[in-house]
Copies of this chain bind each other. A is one copy, B any other.
C-alpha cells in the first residue's frame, strides 16, 4: 500500500475527478454510451443493481398503500401547456413526435410521413397525462387518497450528458397522489421524502441532508419541492430524490375535483415524487475509489465472487469441484431479505481479479490447494483491502458479518467525508475564498457544503450563483432558528442554508 501503488483506474480521483468517474463506469461494465445522442445502454451488471434498487423501493412504496399503474409514453402538446410554469420548465428540452410513418422520399431514402395533427411530447414527467386520468378516477372524497406510482422511462433532451448522472433518456419512478386536504397532501410529500432518505442512507449507504428547495430551484409548477442532497467525493452536491407538494395547481390544470362529505365541490391537493437511475451515479461517486466501484452489500448484484486458483502442479478438477461445492453451500445462506448472491469465475486468466475489484463486488474468495488442505478459503474485502483465511464451516456467518461491516463502513466513511468538508461560514470573504479553489490545488475540487445565512431574497441567491456557480441546495428541515446575517447582502436571516456546487 505504498505511495506509488498502481491503481486500476487512470486517472485517480485527485488527478481528474470527472474523467475518473467516466473511467470507473467503463471499467465496472455497468453502462456505456449509445449511438443515440445522450442515451446510455445499461449493461447487465448495472441493470442488476437497478433491479435491486427497484425491488427495495417498490416494496417500501407499497407498504404505505401506493399501487403501481402505467400511463402513456406520449403527452399531447396541449396537455403539457395546461400548467404554465410546467411547460415553460420542459419546453426547452423535449423530444417531439411529429409523424407516424416513414415513406420513400424523392431520392428513394425514407423520410417522415403522416404528419400528426397535434405534436406529441415524449414524457419528461407525467403530471399532466396522469392528472387527466385522475380527473376521471376521482369524483368523491371516498376515492381519496389516490396513491399511484409508475416505473417508466422519461426523456429530457439535455445538452451535456454524463452516464447515469444526466442522460437524455433515463429510468425512474414517478409517484402521483391526490388528497382531500392540504395537510394530508403535505404529509404524503414528507412520507415519500423520508422513504427516499431511508433508502439512500440505509441501502445505498449515502448520508443525505433532507431539505426544501428555494423557489428558484423548485419543480416547475410545484408549491414546494423537498429533496435529499448527498456530497460526492469532489465535494459537489447531488440531489438523489425529490418530493413535490403541488398544492391545487395541477388539480386545477387537469380539473381533478371531488365532492366532499359535506357535499361541497373542491379541487384535490396533489403531490409527485421521483427517483431515478441518477442515484446509481451518486452511489458510484460516493463510494468508488481509485480501483473502481464499491457496491454497498445490501444492493450489490453479487455479494461474493468465488475465484479458484490453479497452480501449475495442482489438479484443476479437484479445485473446481471444491469451488462449486463452496458456491452451492453459500447459495443456501441468506443476507438480509434475500439469498446470498454468488458468482463463480473459473477463468484461468490474468486480470480476472481486477475485473471484480473494478465491478465493486463486496467480497472475493480465492481458493486453491492450500485452502483446500485446511478446508478453508481466502477472503478479500473490497472496501478496506483486508484479507484473511476462513474455515468453510464458519463461512456463512463470516460473510454476513463482513457484509454488514462493509455496509456500515461505507456509510460512516461517507459521513466522515461530508463532515470534514462541511463548514459554517459567516462572512462573504471566507465564503468566496472557500469556493474558489483556495482550499485545494485541484481546480475541479471546490469547497464542499457551506452552512451560511441567507436573507431569503432571490437576488442574493442569483448573485452568488453568477459569481461562483454555487447554489442553495436546500433549506435543511432540521435547521434551528438562529439569528444571523445574509452571506451576500448582510441583511437579517433566521436560518442557515446549504450552499454548494452541484451536479
A interface residue numbers (CB < 8 A to B) = 32, 34-36, 39-44, 47-48, 50-51, 67-77, 79, 81, 87, 91-103, 110-112, 114, 119-122, 129, 132-133, 136, 148, 152-153, 155, 157, 169, 171
Contacts and interface: CB of A to CB of B under 8 A. Distances in A.
Contact of A41 (B69, B87, B155): B69
B129 A36 contact: yes
Given A44-B67, A44-B68, A79-B35, A73 B110 contact: no
18 contacts: A34-B72, A34-B129, A34-B133, A35-B132, A39-B73, A39-B74, A41-B72, A41-B133, A44-B67, A44-B148, A47-B70, A73-B169, A87-B110, A91-B110, A96-B100, A102-B121, A112-B119, A114-B157
B94 A100 contact: yes
Given A74-B39, A74-B169, A76-B36, A98 B99 contact: yes
From A40, A98, A171, residue with most partner B Cβ within 10 Å = A98
A73 B155 contact: yes
Contacts of A155: 73
Contact of A42 (B44, B69, B96): B69
Q: What are the nearest 4 A-B pairs in CB distance?
A: A39-B72, A44-B67, A91-B102, A42-B70
Given A71-B41, A101-B157, A96 B112 contact: yes
Contacts of A76: 35-36
Nearest to A44: B67
Contacts of A35: 76, 79, 129, 132
A485 B110 CA distance: 44
Nearest to A113: B96
Contacts of A79: 35
Copies of this chain held together in the complex: 2
Contact of A75 (B36, B40, B111): B36
Given A47-B69, A69-B43, A96 B95 contact: no
A464 B266 CA distance: 60
Given A35-B79, A95-B97, 14 more contacts: A36-B75, A39-B72, A41-B133, A48-B68, A50-B70, A73-B153, A74-B95, A74-B169, A91-B101, A91-B103, A91-B110, A96-B112, A114-B157, A152-B153
Contacts of A73: 39, 122, 153, 155, 169
Contacts of A92: 101-102
A343 to B, nearest CB: 12
A60 B77 CA distance: 41
A75 B91 CA distance: 22
Contacts of A98: 96-99, 112
Nearest to A97: B95
A69 B157 CA distance: 22
From A36, A39, A51, residue with most partner B Cβ within 10 Å = A36
A122 B112 CA distance: 12
Contacts of A157: 100-101, 114
A359 to B, nearest CB: 14
A488 B138 CA distance: 56
Nearest to A146: B44
A99 B122 CA distance: 11
A69 B29 CA distance: 12
Given A44-B69, A76-B35, A102 B110 contact: no
Contacts of A70: 41-42, 47, 50, 171
Contacts of A48: 67-68
A87 B110 CA distance: 10
B68 A120 contact: no
Contacts of A71: 34, 41
Contacts of A47: 67-70
Nearest to A142: B347
Contacts of A121: 102
Contacts of A36: 72, 74-76, 120, 129
A100 B122 CA distance: 10
Contacts of A114: 157
A169 to B, nearest CB: 5
A97 B73 CA distance: 13
